Structure 1
Amino acid sequence: MTGTPDLSEEDVRQFARIREDFTRMMLGYRFGMEQVATRLDILREESAELHVDNPIEHISTRLKSPESIIAKAARQSVPLDIAALREGITDIAGIRVVCSFVADVYRLVDSLTAQPDITVRTVKDYIAAPKPNGYRSLHVIVEIPVFLSSGAVHVPVEVQFRTVAMDFWASTEHKIFYKYEGDVPADLRRRITDAAATAARMDDEMAELLRAVHGAAADTGRE
């Protein structure tokens, strides 16, 4: 595993110079992340009340630590400057949304990104086009305005949407790669990819079962 790189004395001095601005930046990211998580909670409760179903199994949030941000900036040669950090590191604030079905993923993405004060920066759909190892998820980076005493800032938040099956596979794959420090034997890599295909088939089968019970409404969220 790649460890935290040693910081030069100049890096340390530069960080000390921007400490106050860095703290304000981190507050903005935390508030932005919390706002997006609240929007998702509202969508979850609305759906549960109106459609008698809950499209979200659980939501988790993650804010990178200052040490992690500085280490990533060093690895990617991003200057320790607030504007450069905002532009160069897009996953400072992250949210993971685990849904019951693939259809729920796309409905939630559409509902969240349709809100007028949310701007979509990037969409990476690894459900429609999985990674070579079988990883499936839908990543969206959205921007949301946060109003601080110094003025409004538009904060990027990375939101990962996946099903329960996708989440179980990704969690297990991460643990295996951590145990082997990234050097996973070829046979295990093949089995991991095969397991991803099994998880995808499970998602397809559960969607078919839902359609058998609810008909076409299962694909649209409408009863």
Structure 2
Amino acid sequence: MSMELLMNSDNPEKVLQTMQPFIESMMHYECALMEIETKLKVLNTEFASQYNRNPFESIRCRLKKPLSIVEKMKRKGLEISIENIEENLTDIAGVRVICSFPEDIYTVSELLTKQDDIRVVCVKDYIRNPKPNGYRSLHLIVEIPIFLSNEKKYMKVEVQFRTIAMDFWASLDHKLKYKKDNLKHPEIIAKELKKCADTITAMDYKMQEIRSLLE
């Protein structure tokens, strides 16, 4: 699955043949990301036209790296095959939608999931039910069809919705979590981060309230 493997092999053609199904699968996930991104951009454009404002600030798409896929399959104790990967991993293709207000998260997610070609596999609402550390985000696993030259195929995509404040907190928490392992009293840091998460959430809803007053 890497150029190093290809260059060091005595039979590069065989390696390419082995890699081809994986390369095709990643292409399918990339197409699924394009489909989701397009749907969201269309909703954003329509919303802006009707209400004179955008419901979200930005969209970020990413594909899980091959090494991360292999490591996750090993942790799950699963045989590594294209079929197993596509069936058992739901976060290979990921989209993060950054919204201005919590209310917009639910509006956009509902508009997306009620489209008749979207299948909702799983919903995890960490906004109404935050994780113990204070993490908040709305996670959706959806299946979306891609139309290839010879088939229509449904691919899984993880879509995360966060406010700007939630994304800011999660980004810093991710950077700090590795340092917390080396502290004598990591529970103190965890407690402070939880306070920050609660403060940020309060600010989110206060800003939403101000927006409602202005409207």
Instruction: Please classify the TM superposition score into its range, dividing by the shorter chain length.
Output: 0.7 to 0.9
The letter of the residue matching 1:114 is: K
Q: Is the 8 A contact 1:18 1:81 kept in 2?
A: no
Provide the rounded CA distance (Å) in 1 between the counterparts of 2:149 and 2:45: 31
Give the secondary-structure state (helix, strand or coil) at the position aligned to 1:204: helix
Give the secondary-structure state (helix, strand or coil) at the position aligned to 1:167: helix
Partner residue in 1 for 2:54: 54
Partner residue in 2 for 1:191: 192
How far the C-alpha of 1:78 sits from its partner, in A, is 1.9
Give runs of aligned pairs for residues 7-156 of structure 1, distance below 5 A.
18-156=18-156
Q: Is the 8 A contact 1:18 1:82 kept in 2?
A: no
Q: Structure 1 stretches (4+) deviating beyond 6 angstroms?
A: none
The letter of the residue matching 1:200 is: T
The letter of the residue matching 1:118 is: I
How far the C-alpha of 1:179 sits from its partner, in A, is 3.4
Partner residue in 2 for 1:204: 205
How far the C-alpha of 1:70 sits from its partner, in A, is 1.1
Provide the rounded CA distance (Å) in 2 between the counterparts of 1:18 and 1:198: 51
How far the C-alpha of 1:182 sits from its partner, in A, is 7.9
The letter of the residue matching 2:48 is: A
Report how many residues are paired: 200
How far the C-alpha of 1:89 sits from its partner, in A, is 1.0
The letter of the residue matching 1:193 is: K
Q: TM-score, normalised by structure 1?
A: 0.85
Partner residue in 1 for 2:167: 167
The letter of the residue matching 2:29 is: Y
The letter of the residue matching 1:21 is: P
Give the secondary-structure state (helix, strand or coil) at the position aligned to 1:39: helix
CA RMSD of aligned residues (A): 1.7
The letter of the residue matching 1:161 is: F
Provide the rounded CA distance (Å) in 1 between the counterparts of 2:182 and 2:121: 30
**What is the aligned-residue identity percentage?**
44
How far the C-alpha of 1:20 sits from its partner, in A, is 2.0
Q: Any gaps of 5 or more consecutive residues in structure 1?
A: 1-14, 215-223
Q: Is the 8 A contact 1:165 1:200 kept in 2?
A: yes
How far the C-alpha of 1:16 sits from its partner, in A, is 7.6
Q: TM-score, normalised by structure 2?
A: 0.88
